[in-house]
Amino acid sequence: MRFISRLPAMGLSLAVAAGLSASALAQQGQPPLSAEESDPRVLGWMVGSPPPADKIITQPDSVYFSFPRLRWSVCHLREFLPTEEISRGLGAPVPLSYLTPDELTQYAEEIDALTFTPMNSDGQMTWKDSLGANYTDGMLIMHKGRVVYEKYSGCLNEDGKHAAMSMTKSLTGLLAQILVAEGTLDETKRVIDIIPEIKGSAFATATVREVMDMTTGVKYSENYADPNADIWVYSRAASPLPKPEGYKGPNGYWEYLQQVQPEGRHGDEFHYKTINSDMLGWIITRVTGKEVTQLASERLWSKMGAEQAAYQTVDGKGVPFAGGGLTASLRDLGRLGQLMLDEGVINGKRLFPAEVARRIRQGGDPSKFAGFPTIPNGSYTSQWWVFHNDHGAYAARGVHGQTIYVDPTAEMVLVRFASFPTAANGRIDPTSLPAYQAVAEYLMAKD
C-alpha cells in the first residue's frame, strides 16, 4: 500500500493546478522566506557535482513542488515528469519588436517607480517592490506590439522555460474556440454526441460550451484531508507511473472523466474544476484526431515565430494534461498574448479568425460567477478569466502567480511567471491586478 500512497504525489501537481498545493498546506502558519531569501540561486539548489544532499531536489512532488524548492522546480518540470513537445517547427524564430535600448532603460526606470494601492490596503507599493512581493521569475510587458519591459529572476532566463500551470487551460480553451469559429466543433452539442463512451459520466449531458465555461454540474472535490477526495483519485489516474498491481481505479485522464458523478445542474453556475479542461482536451482530440500538443504546434507555436518549443506533461497513456501541464518561455507566451490582442494576427499573418479573440474578450455570464473576491465582477469563458473592468482586460491565470494579462484599451500584453509560496491567486492578486492597471495607465499616458 505504500506504493499507492505515494502515487498521489506523482499526480503531476494536479492539486497545484487546481489551486491548492501540498506545499501551501505544509507552509500554513509559517512566514515564508522572502523572494530574495528563497531565490534558487541564493539557496543553491542543484549546484555541485553532485550537489550537497540537502540541495538536491528530487521526487516526489510533495518534495520538488514544495516551497522554496518549487522556486527551482517551476523551471525544470520535465526533469521530473514525462512530457510531450509542442514543436516550434524548423523555421527561424521571428524576434519580438523592442523599444530602443535607451527607451527600454527609461521605461524600466519609470515603470519600476510606479506606485499603486494594493487591494485591501491603505498603503502604497512600488511596481519594483511588487515584483519581489509576488516572487516574480519573469515579467514581460508589451505595448502596441513592442516590448517595453522585460525582466528575469529566480530560476528563469530568456532561453529558459517556466511552468504555466493553469494557463494551460486557456491554451486548451483557445484551441477549442478556434475550432468553434471554424465550424469543426459545435459548442451547442452535448458531450455524449461527440464522445459516446462518456455516457456513464455527468459530463455526458453537458454542452461543449458549458465545458468550455466550466458551468458543468460535476462532482469534483478537492478536500485534501479526505483520502477519498476526487483529487486523489484523479491524481492516481493521471500518474504516468505503472499502476500498482491490484489497482482498480481509472487509468489516465480520460478514464477518470468517464466516471464523474453529477453535482448541481449544468449551466447554472461557474465552478472552477480542472476536470472540465481535460474534458475539453478530449473533445478537441476527438473532433480533430490530434493531440492538443500537436494542435498547439500546428496552429500556434509553429506559426507565431516562437523561439522555443514548449512542452506538456502527460499521463501514463500519453494524454497531455490539458488542465495544467504546459511549460513555455516568457517571450513565447508574450507572442500568444499579442496574438490575442491583435485578434489572431501576428507578424502579418492571420492564424485564426478575429471572432475567436472577440468572443473570449466578451466574457461569460458574470451572474454565474462567484467565489473570487479579487475578481468581483468577473466571468470565465473558453477557459479565460475576464475582468469586465474599464479596460476590458482578460487573462490566462495559473496558480503561484502565472498570468497572461491582455488589456485591449491600453494595447498592453503582460506576461508574468512567478513562484509565490502559496498556490491560490487570491493571495497574489492584491499586489498584482492594481499594479497591472497602474502600468496600463502609465503606458496610455505615454501615448
Q: Which residues bind its own copies (CB under 8 A)?
A: 2-3, 6, 9-10, 46, 49-50, 56-60, 76, 78-85, 87, 89-93, 158-159, 240-242, 244-245, 252, 254, 282, 285-286, 289, 307-309, 311, 314, 316-319
399: β partners: none
Q: In whole angstroms, how close is the CB of 387 to its own copies at the nearest point?
A: 33
Which of residues 88 and 427 has its CB atom nearest to its own copies in the complex? 88
CA angle at 124 for the pair 121 and 125, rounded to the nearest 5°? 110
Which of residues 101 and 289 has its CB atom nearest to its own copies in the complex? 289
Which of residues 245 and 447 has its CB atom nearest to its own copies in the complex? 245
Q: In whole angstroms, how close is the CB of 229 to its own copies at the nearest point?
A: 22
Q: In whole angstroms, how close is the CB of 58 to its own copies at the nearest point?
A: 5
Which of residues 107 and 254 has its CB atom nearest to its own copies in the complex? 254
Of the candidates 433, 329, 288, 295, which has an alpha carbon nearest to the alpha carbon of residue 373? 433
Which of residues 5 and 223 has its CB atom nearest to its own copies in the complex? 5
Grid cell in block for residue 238:
493521471
Which of residues 31 and 289 has its CB atom nearest to its own copies in the complex? 289
Q: In whole angstroms, how close is the CB of 272 to its own copies at the nearest point?
A: 25
Q: In whole angstroms, how close is the CB of 90 to its own copies at the nearest point?
A: 5
350: β partners: 345
In the block, cell 481505479 appears at: 249
Q: Measure CA 393 to chain center.
A: 17
Within the chain, how many helices (H) and strands (E) appear? 18, 16
CA angle at 204 for the pair 201 and 205, rounded to the nearest 5°? 130
Q: In whole angstroms, how close is the CB of 282 to its own copies at the nearest point?
A: 7
CA distances from 87 to 17, 95, 281, 293, 442 (A): 23, 17, 18, 8, 36
Q: In whole angstroms, how close is the CB of 57 to its own copies at the nearest point?
A: 7
Grid cell in block for residue 325:
501541464
Of the candidates 158, 146, 89, 95, which has an alpha carbon nearest to the alpha carbon of residue 303? 89
Which of residues 318 and 376 has its CB atom nearest to its own copies in the complex? 318
* Beta strand residue intervals within 291-356, DSSP E: 310-313, 326-328, 345-346, 349-350
Amino acid letter, 10: M
- Please give the Cα distance from 322 to 65 (Å, whole number): 19
Grid cell in block for residue 433:
491586478
Grid cell in block for residue 447:
501615448
Backbone angles phi, psi at 116, to 5 degrees: -150, 165
Q: In whole angstroms, how close is the CB of 281 to its own copies at the nearest point?
A: 10
Which of residues 83 and 437 has its CB atom nearest to its own copies in the complex? 83
